[in-house]
A and B are shown apart, each in its own frame.
Chain A
Amino acid sequence: MAQIELSAIRKSFDGADVLKGIDFRIEDGEFISLVGPSGCGKSTLLRIIAGLEPQNSGQVHIDGRPVDAIRPSARNLAMVFQSYALYPHLSTFDNIAVPLRMRRLSAIERLPLLGPLLPGRRAKERHIRADVEGIAEQLDIAPLLRRKPGQLSGGQRQRVAVGRAMVREPRAFLFDEPLSNLDAKLRVHMRAELAELHRRLKATFVYVTHDQAEAMTMSSRIAVMMGGELIQAGTPAEIYNHPNDIRVAEFIGSPKINVLPGRIRTDGGVDVLGTALKLACSAAAGECRVGVRPERIDLGTGPFSGTVVHLENLGAEAFVHLAIEGAGLRLIARLADVRHLPAMASSVAFGFAPDAVRIFDPAGKRIELRVEQPERIREPAHV
């Protein structure tokens, strides 16, 4: 349906740079999540794609054509807003019909009182009715068509907003944190529904969220934004396993990745908490930060030890919070087997496999590693 290309997009509000030159290409039919902490510019970027906000410089191309001088409605994109933005005085039916009426009826035909009397209006209105009812059927909101938005629950409003976006058959769908007003349970449910919708429509979805779980579960690709820059884009697995920046590593994944202070020796070896890891890198000697995901920490064996200070048992999994003596550090380990939890305040030995380690330089960039295993040398993954 549509491929969206952003080149060197810059935007500032009152002298503050919100977007610092974004280059990005969204392929046709992709489900792209723009994810990042609040204030990183992701919503602004979405509004620039939509045409609701002009950029200070740079171009937006949709299907190879520049759209910078084109009005939002003429770009033929549909947007679903965080607050759903349904017209409060119109019924569900009329809400969904608005984009069709605006496009298919002339200005005179839309006039109240006079419009319905014009010839041809009846036939057009019949088509609109058929289209709206078709959409309502697909989204399971057919029984709600006569209700006003005020009489709908959050999830229902969400569906109506999606319906209003779908009905115009846009080139791409833009979502601005559409699930953040829903309760946790409904959010998980709507996540599955949106992913399912994307598979069915095969349309381009651009989805803005600050919730990394939404990005991880739905998208075909994730673009992580921080401080007005796009730091990394890749599939959810790439972003999770091979973050190229410590901010990405810390933002994606829950609980957060454990970060330990480390040191690169002059021979390229890496020390962490005074223990040498079976790793080598070609970076210059000096301080570094060592990241290990909670699920990659093996409790019970290993060269390190910590005290259990907190336990979170979620039933299917458990999180063990460890304090490292002398280092003033806290680590979280994820335990898949909740039947064998360590006791509170007990001392536990732990370690991690060399390939679980990601190392970042003091500026936060990832340092490529070689695992020192003579029999098989792993190629560092490229992102």
Chain B
Amino acid sequence: MSNAHSIPFRAILRHVLLIAGAALMLAPFIWMISTASKPQTEIFSSELHLIPHQLALAENLREAFAKANLLRFLLNGVIVTISIFVLQIMVALPAAYALAKLRFLGRETLFALVLFGILIPPQATAVPVFLMLHKAGLLDSYAALVLPFTISVFGIFLMRQFFKTVPDDLVDAARMDGISEFGIVWRVMLPAAIPAVTAFGIFSVVAHWNDYFWPLIVLNSEQLRTPPLAVAHFRNSEAGTSYGPLMAAAMVIIAPLVIAFLFAQRRFIEGITLTGIK
């Protein structure tokens, strides 16, 4: 109480460090907004300034929407991420239930394989998966974007860990009440696991919304492009990269995630603390 007026040195140091870190993290975003607001001439001028002398945000946005079908790309992003997430849940929940609550031969081995699966980076399996999709004639389609991600070993692992904390009595009570095993997954375990499902949903949607690598490999058709590819669209033209519209497009495609984050900030943080992953 006595030093209520004097701010302790440690607190100041802590905040200075935090502000410096935040500034470092935010710099690219600020640069993006700044560039998106400048006309072409200012972007290439040699002097460095953040606030544009002449505000050209509207023109850049207009050009971005005119050059590329941004709305279509955003819709593609929604279709792909939602499909991936729904299918991942449909696979992960029953698998996690079996690994957490059912007793069968080889359960531990299967779980070890799941853990092993987490260690494999997606790039390592990219070529075989690409070839399989080619053989199946599925390249350049929504299926090519969605199918490789339907089985998420991370999702199975996360759900299994959460299901372990659901008391066995609850499962037994459901069995006594006549609920089938699949019924238990959807009627008992899913409602109990909503926090874990939300956390997993956040990771899944963010990862696949922002994924650049896989769509770039499997897509040719312009109408199937996902949001990150849309940004790249502004880069390659022989007439040189038009940075203003590019940055404006980037702003548009990150907007859904930023808005979602602002609306569900607490859920995001809960989800991240729940999984212990940063």
Whether the pair A73, B176 counts as a contact (CB closer than 8 A) is yes
Interface membership of chain A positions 9-40, coded 1 if the CB is closer than 8 angstroms to chain B and 0 otherwise: 00000000000000000000000000000000
Q: What is the minimal beta-carbon distance from B102 to any residue of chain A, in angstroms? A: 13
Interface residues of A in 74-89 (CB under 8 A from B): 74, 77-79, 81-89
Residues 169-208 of chain B: 1 if any A CB is under 8 Å from the residue's CB, otherwise 0? 1101111111100000000100110100000000000000
Which one of B172, B176, B178, B191 contacts A87 once the chains associate, using CB atoms below 8 Å? B191
A 60-84 to B, binary, CB cutoff 8 A, 1 in contact else 0: 0000000000011110011101111
Q: Are B192 and A85 interface neighbours, CB within 8 A?
A: no
**Chain B neighbourhood of A103, CB < 8 A:** 178
> With a CB–CB cut-off of 8 A, which chain A residues contact B106?
none
Q: What's the Cα separation between A52 and B177 when bound, in Å? A: 12
Indicate if A102 sits at the interface (CB-CB under 8 A). yes
The verdict on A89 contacting B191 (CB below 8 Å), with A72-B176, A73-B176, A73-B178 known, is yes
- Determine the distance from Cα of A234 to Cα of B188 in the docked complex, in whole angstroms: 40
Q: Are the C-beta atoms of B176 and A102 separated by less than 8 Å?
A: no
Q: Which of A72, A82, A83, A87 contacts B175 (CB 8 A)?
A: A72
Main secondary structure of the interface of B (DSSP, over half): helix
A26 to B177, CA, bound (A): 23
CA A103 to CA B176, docked complex, whole Å? 11
Question: How many contacts A-B (CB < 8 Å)?
Answer: 57
What residues of B have a CB within 8 angstroms of the CB of A88 in the complex?
191-192
Contact B167–A52 (Cβ < 8 Å): no
Nearest residue (CB) in B for A102 is: B178
Task: Report chain A residues within 8 Å CB of B179.
Answer: 73, 98, 102
- B173 near A85 with CB under 8 A, answer yes
Determine the interface band of chain A, counting residues with CB < 8 A from chain B: 20 to 34
- The answer, yes or no, to whether A155 is at the interface (CB within 8 Å) is no
CA distance A88 to B169 in the complex (A): 12
Compute how far the CA of A81 lies from the CA of B169 in the bound complex, rounded to whole angstroms.
7
A99 pairs with B178, CB closer than 8 A: yes
Among B172, B179, B188, B192, chain A packs the most CB atoms within 10 A around the CB of B172
Count chain B CB atoms within 10 A of each CB in A47, A78, A99 and give the residue with the most. A99
Check if B192 sits within 8 Å of A79, measured CB to CB. Answer: no
* A73 pairs with B177, CB closer than 8 A: yes
Contact partner of B177 (CB less than 8 A), chosen from A83, A89, A102, is A102
Distance in angstroms from B142 CB to nearest chain A CB is 26
Is there contact, CB below 8 Å, between A52 and B178? no
Least Cβ distance of A72 to chain B in Å? 5
**B177 pairs with A50, CB closer than 8 A:** no
- When distances are taken between beta carbons in the complex, the residues of chain A under 8 Å from B177 are 73, 98-99, 102, 164
Known interface pairs A73-B177, A79-B172. Does A87 touch B188 (Cβ–Cβ under 8 Å)?
Answer: yes
Q: Which residues of B contact A52 (CB under 8 A)?
A: 172, 175-176
Query: By the criterion CB–CB under 8 Å, are B169 and A85 in contact?
Result: yes
- A99–B173 Cα gap in the complex (Å)? 10
Among all A-B residue pairs, the 10 with the closest Cβ atoms: A73-B178, A85-B173, A89-B191, A102-B178, A85-B169, A81-B169, A99-B177, A85-B170, A83-B169, A72-B175
Measuring CB to CB, which residues of chain A are less than 8 angstroms from any residue of chain B?
Answer: 47, 50, 52, 71-74, 77-79, 81-90, 98-99, 102-103, 164
20 interchain pairs (CB within 8 A)?
A47-B172, A50-B176, A72-B175, A73-B177, A73-B179, A77-B176, A79-B172, A81-B169, A84-B169, A85-B172, A87-B173, A87-B188, A88-B191, A88-B192, A90-B191, A98-B177, A98-B179, A102-B177, A102-B178, A102-B179
Given contacts A50-B176, A85-B172, 18 further A-B contacts (CB under 8 A): A50-B172, A52-B172, A72-B175, A72-B176, A73-B178, A78-B176, A81-B169, A82-B169, A85-B173, A87-B188, A87-B191, A90-B191, A98-B177, A98-B179, A99-B176, A102-B177, A102-B179, A103-B178
